[in-house]
Chains A and B, each alone.
Chain A
Amino acid sequence: MYTQAMDTGPKEERKAVRSVEEAELERRFDTRIDAGEFIEAKDWMPEHYRKTLVRQISQHAHSEIVGMLPEGNWISRAPTLKRKAILLAKVQDEAGHGLYLYAAAETLGTSRDQMLDALHTGKAKYSSIFNYPSLTWADMGVIGWLVDGAAIMNQVPLTRCSYAPYARAMVRVCREESFHQRQGFEALLTMMTKGTEAQRAMVQDAVNRWWWPSLMMFGPPDSESTHSEQSMRWGIKRIGNDELRQKFVDAAAEQAKVLGVSLPDPELKWNEARQHHDFGAIDWSEFWRVVGGDGPCNRERLAARVKAWEEGAWVREAALAHARKAVLKESAA
């Protein structure tokens, strides 16, 4: 799973006044970036680089965790034991991805509690895709195929991100993510080739609902993206939103033919001259509405996270108290 939210945070002004020493440190930092070197946690880095990364990595982590909700919704209603085991493994992976990413963000000097607090109070964003409901079993397949497919397109370039702890976490995430997309596609293919007419209609309906939100996962066009340019300069981002989105459309259009579903875009067609698919205009007003908090499930998702955090408080406290007691006992013995 991936967050496009790096492009949706408030635009921060860079500090204009810097000391001579700081300017020299920044010059050396830029040279390292230009040479393609990785930056490690304890290396000097510009404050703005650190802030950008904390925002992006923590929002990426939040997306993994909130992303467990639409799929968790179907664990108890999976059609077979096999599909249930697969879905459980996938949702557990998303939790793991969230944890790798929180750990990476913590190396930048922000605490887990601070990040969770930002999520729970609505200050931090997560990927807008998870504010859509998962209405049928076919949604589980389509989330794997399209949503995880879009996530993989976004995430592979992040394995070369200049911030090494993030890049290392992304290597691990990408290694596991391929199973997510394949299991989704396979579940859909089973319904399309062996299912009933009603099941095929269910798949088509799910594709129709998830197609456009999946395209929005790549974030606004590069021309309107507030953070893209600086992130490219620093090697946090390697490929622009538009290029990744095009790559995704080209791949998905071919995969849809194999599945035997149509994509809900009358303007989608191969352009021989461009060697790419043309596609229709994205409704960015919907995107900004969902990012801004007014999607179909924003309130429900956040409420579920806050509830889980609050109801788990006694467990966290009890575990800590138990550990303290054990230490005391040991020192007394």
Chain B
Amino acid sequence: MSSTLTPNPSPSGRGEQSEWPLWEVFVRSKAGLDHKHCGSLHATDPTMAIQLARDVYTRRQEGTSIWVVRSDQIVASDPGEKAMYFDPMEDKIYRHPTFYELPKSVDHI
């Protein structure tokens, strides 16, 4: 899940943390498709994270490839600035092909 901005205990960092660090899991369902975020899990190191991701997220052949990344290593846009960040594209309708009216005979282009 997208808990990407929450600070997480790190194995090399804060010494007294007992909870395993959080990892985000991305799975490619078949060759030719993108890796897609599918959830998260706790693991102590990259090898364990990959193994657990296989067991937790691909029990029914849902994947052909897995990426894992420490959740605290993900940089995300600020949800509080969503409007400021993304709304300027709202009025640029000329960036879409449907903005242009063409004669019927060439409208398939």
Please report whether the interface of chain B is mostly helix, strand, loop or mixed according to DSSP.
loop
Stretch binding the partner chain, chosen from A97-105, A142-150, A250-258: A97-105
Q: How far is the CA of A41 from the CA of B71 in the complex (A)?
A: 14
Residue of B with least CB distance to A111: B19
B44 touches A319 (CB 8 A): yes
B1 touches A106 (CB 8 A): yes
B18 touches A104 (CB 8 A): no
Q: Tell me, yes or no, whether B56 is within 8 Å of chain A by CB.
A: yes
Residue in contact with B1 in the complex, picked from A89, A169, A316, A327, CB distance below 8 Å: A169
Complex contact A113–B1 (CB within 8 A): no
Interface residue count on the B side (C-beta < 8 Å): 25
Complex Cα gap A324–B12 (Å): 6
Given A41-B3, A320-B11, A327-B11, check contact A96 B59 (CB 8 Å).
yes
- Secondary structure class of chain A's binding surface, majority of residues: helix
CA distance A116 to B1 in the complex (A): 19
Name the residue on B nearest A322 (C-beta). Answer: B44
With known contacts A113-B18, A316-B20, A323–B44 Cβ distance under 8 A: yes
Q: Taking CB as reference atom, which chain B residue is nearest A97?
A: B56
A104 to B41, CA, bound (A): 10
Cα A276 to Cα B40 with chains together (Å): 42
Q: A40 at interface (Cβ–Cβ under 8 A)?
A: yes
Alpha-carbon separation in the docked complex, A40 to B1 (Å):
10
Residues of B within 8 A of A (CB): 1-3, 5-6, 11-12, 18-20, 22, 38-42, 44-45, 48, 55-56, 59-60, 76, 79
Query: Which 6 residue pairs spanning A and B have beta carbons closest together?
Result: A323-B44, A165-B1, A42-B79, A107-B3, A323-B11, A327-B12
